[in-house]
Amino acid sequence: MAIDKNKIAAPVAITDPYNLLGIYPSNGIWDVADIVALERPLLQGGRPGRINKWSRHKPVRYPQAAPLSDNYPQQSGGVTTYVDQWEGSDTDKNQGIRYGLKSTIPHGTNIVAIHDTSFEYIAYPHPGTDFCRLSDFDGYDHNAEPNLTGSKIDEISADVPYLFVDINYYDTSVNPTGVPVESWLSLASDKSIGDYYPAILATDGNGSSFARLLTNTSTNTVTTLRVGNVWYSAFKVKFFSDGTTPPILPVGQSDTFPGEDSVGANLKVTLFLIDKKSFEYWTGVDKQITVADYFPIPTSIAMTAEINSTYTPIKIVDFTFLSSYFQVRFSFPNGNPPVGEKYTFRISGSGFLAIYDYEYKGAGILILNIPLGTTHPDLPPGTHTYYLTCSVYGVSSSGEAGVQLDSLSKNVTFDIPDSGIIS
């Protein structure tokens, strides 16, 4: 055999990895040292990134000339154990390198650093220093993925309360060619991968970071990946209001995403596993030290997800106070919405709260006069200045306020005559 469905199988010919990777030999010479050291820097003649780092079998540093084995027998104290030599040398494993990949995963520190986790392929053979074995390509899978994968999230819909994600674990019986993440988990915890809770970390454009455990869509509760003998892969997390009354939450936690969530905002998102039932609701983690073992989903690290919506974009141009009402000027910068689309405006801050529901009824002057509302501080005669925010939200088909579409904050001056507010 040679190349079969993007895989290489023994007996491996020198041309096989070249052909599968689409590489022409340097100077026209088919060279074992050249092809197994392909990840070396460009200036050293390498072409990094051509080898799929997630293949379990690929060139790795190992101190022997003979072909590597998945089950190499070792004797110690009369006991035989079996070693997967592709996992790497003891020297590399002592530095957290597994299957040629170096990953520095933070523990007992600020969990936000998990965004920066990478799995860098560094333990490839170095010609002249390490053994260069063509047989390292025996079993190489150019399409392999790690045996723990998660959704690739590039958008979050503000029109639905929940973000749905998949987290899949496949043992070697299902995914024999991908790198097994258990190699790293075993360094930090005595728990198996099924005993971890799936979670999400999201950082908004202001640099504020929040974490929350995912909810099992089958049980509608927070669970580990495995419950009894059943493995789960479908999970969800609540981002926006679903119209229900949230439970009484611990101080500092939120049922909906507490960061910047306007349409068009970008979030940095990482899916991860954690061995403790922390963050059952959205919790700010910028300064929090997390005493737990956690591990990123390798395919779902530091993803950029844009919050989008089917609502027509709306912009608050300005707002001010006139006599007994707020006057709000707004626009639809990308064109008018369909007739009947609904929005709700809120003016709040400094003890004020005014709410106004608006339905677009066709072209016209886009100015609203919003009554002061019943919630406001006492306004004695004279000139007063308060810092207020005017926000506008989309309204769902069920009549619930959805995502914030725009907001404007400013100092608003109130000139109150001696007779009080004009009604």
**Nearest-5° angle of CA 173, CA 21, CA 125?**
80
Task: Give 235-262 pLDDT, tens digit per residue.
Answer: 999 998 877 777 889 888 999 999 998 8
Is the pLDDT assigned to residue 10 strictly greater than 70? Answer: yes
Q: What is the mean pLDDT of residues 42-46?
A: 86
Distance in angstroms (rounded) separating the CA atoms of residues 54 and 116: 18
Other beta carbons within 10 angstroms of residue 371's beta carbon come to: 12
Contact status, residue 210 vs residue 285, Cβ threshold 8 Å: yes
DSSP for 281-294 reads SEEE-SS-B--S-E
Contact status, residue 328 vs residue 367, Cβ threshold 8 Å: yes
Task: Grade residue 423 by pLDDT with cuts at 50, 70 and 90.
Answer: low
Structure tokens at 53: 């780092």
pLDDT score, position 12: 95
Amino acid at 47: R
Least confident of 76-90, 190-204, 244-258, 395-409: 395-409
Is the pLDDT assigned to residue 214 strictly greater than 90? Answer: yes
Distance in angstroms (rounded) separating the CA atoms of residues 181 and 148: 7
Is the pLDDT assigned to residue 298 strictly greater than 80? Answer: yes
- The answer to whether the bond into 176 is cis (omega within 30° of 0) is no
Cα torsion through 25, 26, 30, 31, rounded to 10: -120
The mean predicted confidence, pLDDT, of the chain is 90
Contact status, residue 18 vs residue 24, Cβ threshold 8 Å: yes
Task: Give 367-387 pLDDT, tens digit per residue.
Answer: 999 998 778 888 788 899 999
Distance in angstroms (rounded) separating the CA atoms of residues 309 and 304: 16
pLDDT score, position 422: 59
Specify the higher pLDDT residue, 332 or 309: 332
Beta strand pairing call for 7-8 and 3-4: antiparallel
Contact status, residue 14 vs residue 32, Cβ threshold 8 Å: yes
pLDDT score, position 1: 54
CA 222 to chain centre: 18
In terms of C-beta density within 10 A (0-12 exposed, 13-18 middle, 19 or more buried), how is residue 197 classed?
Answer: buried
- Which of 119, 170, 120 shows the shortest CA–CA distance to 148? 170
Q: At 182, phi and psi to the nearest 5?
A: -55, -25
| 26 DSSP assignment | G
Task: Give 182-210 pLDDT, tens digit per residue.
Answer: 888 766 567 889 999 999 999 999 999 99
In terms of C-beta density within 10 A (0-12 exposed, 13-18 middle, 19 or more buried), how is residue 78 classed?
Answer: exposed
Contact status, residue 355 vs residue 379, Cβ threshold 8 Å: no
Q: Is 328 helix (H, G, I), strand (E, B) or coil?
A: strand
In terms of C-beta density within 10 A (0-12 exposed, 13-18 middle, 19 or more buried), how is residue 415 classed?
Answer: exposed
Distance in angstroms (rounded) separating the CA atoms of residues 347 and 245: 22
DSSP for 201-256 reads EEE-TTS-EEEEEPEETTTTB---SEETTEE--EEEEE-S--SSPPPPPPTTEESS
Is the pLDDT assigned to residue 350 strictly greater than 70? Answer: yes
Contact status, residue 181 vs residue 298, Cβ threshold 8 Å: yes
Contacts of 6 (CB under 8 A, 6+ apart): 20, 141, 142, 143
Structure tokens at 192: 């198996």
Q: Give the chain's radius of gyration (CA, Å).
A: 29
pLDDT score, position 293: 86
In terms of C-beta density within 10 A (0-12 exposed, 13-18 middle, 19 or more buried), how is residue 52 classed?
Answer: buried
